[in-house]
Amino acid sequence: MNRKVAMGCGVALLFFIIGVCALAIAVPKLIRKGVAAAKNVFAEEQRLGAFERAWAPPSGSPDASWFPDKVDQWRLANQEPSTGVPRLFIEQPGRHATYRFGAEVLEVNVIPADYAEKEALFERAQSAQSGVGTVTTRIGNRGSLRLSGEGYIRFWWMPKGWFFVFRNHGGSDPKDFMEPYFKAMDGASTGAPQSPEPAPALK
């Protein structure tokens, strides 16, 4: 009996040693990956911060020049004044545009908002998800929301004083639309600073 116990303890000790060795090998790799990921996130935030500071609207208030005819594969369908975004409990007037790509419909709302108003708009948008969706992110001046059965919504507040709401009714995330939209708007304007060189899509 003692011999079996001793053998069992020996096997357990062997597995313990193997586990410790495996951890000794794996942990540094995991730490390096974690550090690299954190550096990438920090670098991306710095890039987006520079992008925000460099962006300038093509005119003093939203008009046709704020909505390029083409943004990558998307085509402008219409643009008009708006009284807000009722689904998100946003009542400030602004301007609304619709872009289409195949069967997908993507809406863009532009709303004037200073820093304090920006925070209020984020809070209102968050309250819209109660019971039907989840606020997935809020990083700096950007956020996202997915409403059950209604697709993705992305928000981006530009420090020049404008709150943008991007909503895709086709189900896909509009994150890949946003930077090309701002760059296309810059390209269509006169005298507006050019945006930074193309970089990886938003995370």
Residue 162: alpha-carbon gap to chain centroid: 16
Look at residue 15 and tell me whether its pLDDT is greater than 90: no
Q: What is the pLDDT of residue 146?
A: 78
Look at residue 200 and tell me whether its pLDDT is greater than 90: no
14 versus 106: which is more confidently predicted? 106
Look at residue 34 and tell me whether its pLDDT is greater than 70: no
In this structure, the strands spanning 74-82 and 94-101 are antiparallel
pTM above 0.75, yes or no: no
Could you report the per-residue pLDDT of 128-187, keeping only the tens digit for each?
Answer: 665 545 556 788 899 888 776 677 889 999 999 999 999 988 667 899 999 999 999 875
Q: How far apart are CA 88 and CA 132, in angstroms?
A: 13
Residue 160: alpha-carbon gap to chain centroid: 19
- Domains of the chain, earliest start first: 64-188 (3.40.1000.20)
No. of helices (H) and no. of strands (E), the chain: 3, 8
The per-residue DSSP string of 92-130 comes to --EEEEEEEETTEEEEEEEEE--HHHHHHHHHHHHHTTT
Range from 26-35, 65-74, 119-128, 142-151 that averages highest in pLDDT: 65-74
Q: What is the pLDDT of residue 33?
A: 56
Could you report the per-residue pLDDT of 117-142, keeping only the tens digit for each?
Answer: 999 888 887 776 655 455 567 888 99
Taking alpha carbons only, the member of 162, 164, 201, 157 closest to residue 179 is 201
